[in-house]
Structure 1
Amino acid sequence: MAKLEVVIPVAGVGKRLRPHTYSMPKALIHVAGKPILGHILDEVESLRPSKVVLVVGHAASMIKEYVKKKRNSVYKFVHQPQPKGIGHAVSLAGQELSGGPLLIILGDTIFKTDLKRVISKRKNAIGVKPVSDPSRFGVVEVQGGRIRRVIEKPKRPTSNLAIVGIYYIEDSRVLLEELDRLVSSGKSTKGEFQFTDGLAGMVKRGLRLGIFKVEGWYDCGTVKATLDANVSLLELSGGNRRRFKDSVVLKPSYVDRSATILRSVIGPHTTVAKGAVIIDSAVRSSIVEAGARIENTILERSLVGRAARIKGKAASVNASELSELSYL
């Protein structure tokens, strides 16, 4: 049996998460105690793949630095010079692939599902989840357990089965051929080559493409979605236990060992990353990135970027890296 290979596109600029993604890739934003990419790699490594190809672009050096700390030889990097979409990214990854079983996971998708079971069936399948607003996502139309059509962000949806960003392809040669053909044709939407067009090409060629339900899907494409994912995942994991003489950490929360907390109340549902400092403050349902400093403040539903400075006044903030907000 051919060995499993994995592709993770993480080259996107993350427009919907600006201003945070001006200086860092969205895959490295912390959610429930670790970067989004960390959640994905933990799941992937449990599958023991022969190769994991990360397609990098924006802030590539930061992604590489994070992944190389894992000291695992299965990781390879392919550079996407321009943000031309997921279809283009996977096509570029083809140079590192053998054409056998392939798992593709989008780099802003945290999930909880039994991928070992999906892979063991050795059948082409796309992870889906019923949603209330399918026009925001790529969707599939299914008939008799088989995908009949793949549609990218339909204006008038005929299905509520959203594509969550996890794909298993047993024989990836056909998919890679379709993506190469798509890129060569120049057929793009707003400058991007849609991965769903490659899947649609597989369906047109008569290949059977099924679905598998993903109940645990935590989209991190916007600030609101990322904060919601942080709450849900902390509820699942319980966070970690940190105790301070003059501060309280309410469960579930995650506070990094190197963070400094003085005379403050943290949580519930709060992530505090490496080297952050929180003094005389209350922070709830928020994400505080590495090196941020918060003083004399009450924060709720906030995303505080790396090395940002927040001081004074109750607020809900979306402060990017090195921001300085002072309310006197």
Structure 2
Amino acid sequence: MKRLEPRQLLVLSALGRNASIHRAARDLSLTQSAVSKTLAEIEAGMGSALFLRSRQGIAATALGRLVLRRVEHLLDLLDHGIGRHGKEAPVLKIGYVSDLHGMALGQAFVRWRLSQPLSLRLVELDSQPLGLQLLQNAELDALVLDEPGEQELRTISNRMVPVLRKSHPLLVKGTSLSLQDVQALDWILPTAGAPFHRALQSWMVRAGIEAAVNLWILPAGQALSTVVAQSDVLAWLPAAQASWFQQMGVLMPVRLTDVPDIEAPAYLLLGAHVQADPVLQQGVALFAHFMDHSSACFEVQ
């Protein structure tokens, strides 16, 4: 079989930890269909099943357990370095509430883990007040907010990209479409967050798009890619996530001609304890850079 790609290693690791495709998808801020497709690719390449499926979840086969041990060993080397011993390295803990930012965080997490020695943990939260309490108790090192606070480290911009299913009739003309092409379509948004909706409304005014567009909310992890892949709707995704789905061969990002991008801002708030820890402080600053880069690096092909 071909050598496993970094994204495949991380999907296998998440499946082994969670024993559930649903929980693994939430862990990586991906859709269940994306995780299932990646697993199918790996199993096809190996010519054997790595997990047994049931209503209760998934369980590794004998081959699956062997592969998982090797995957975890490799990821441990990436996290800590070959031959590293002694005191365990600190873990940078970053919390988030918004599905939209969770999708982009997951992509930054993938690139971070493959290149940085400081371990990283993303924590999905039910509410912003809970996140603020955990931050105050030093159980989180940083919190990604939808609305600006008084102590945010910096603003992170998630560039939003429109996507269509790969075989959509509009794509016969290429990936550059006019406003008239997309205005008649139903649109899916990955979050109900007010800041993104304000940014979208402002963008629609600048672009001259009628406010009568049909908008639907479908949070990340709720089979978003499956819905888009099986219909003619247009979905707005963070650029890094659009790149992931393009690599999976599910969706195709498009460019709207003569129209500026939509930026969905996020705000990174530091815990007070981080200011006294140079390692954590540098880690949070570096991760903020990763977030910006994961949005800026992707261009529609």
Q: TM-score, normalised by structure 2?
A: 0.24
Q: Which structure is higher in strand share?
A: 1
Q: Which structure is higher in helix share?
A: 2
Which structure ranks higher in relative contact order (CA pairs < 8 Å, sequence separation ≥ 6)?
2
Q: TM-score, normalised by structure 1?
A: 0.23
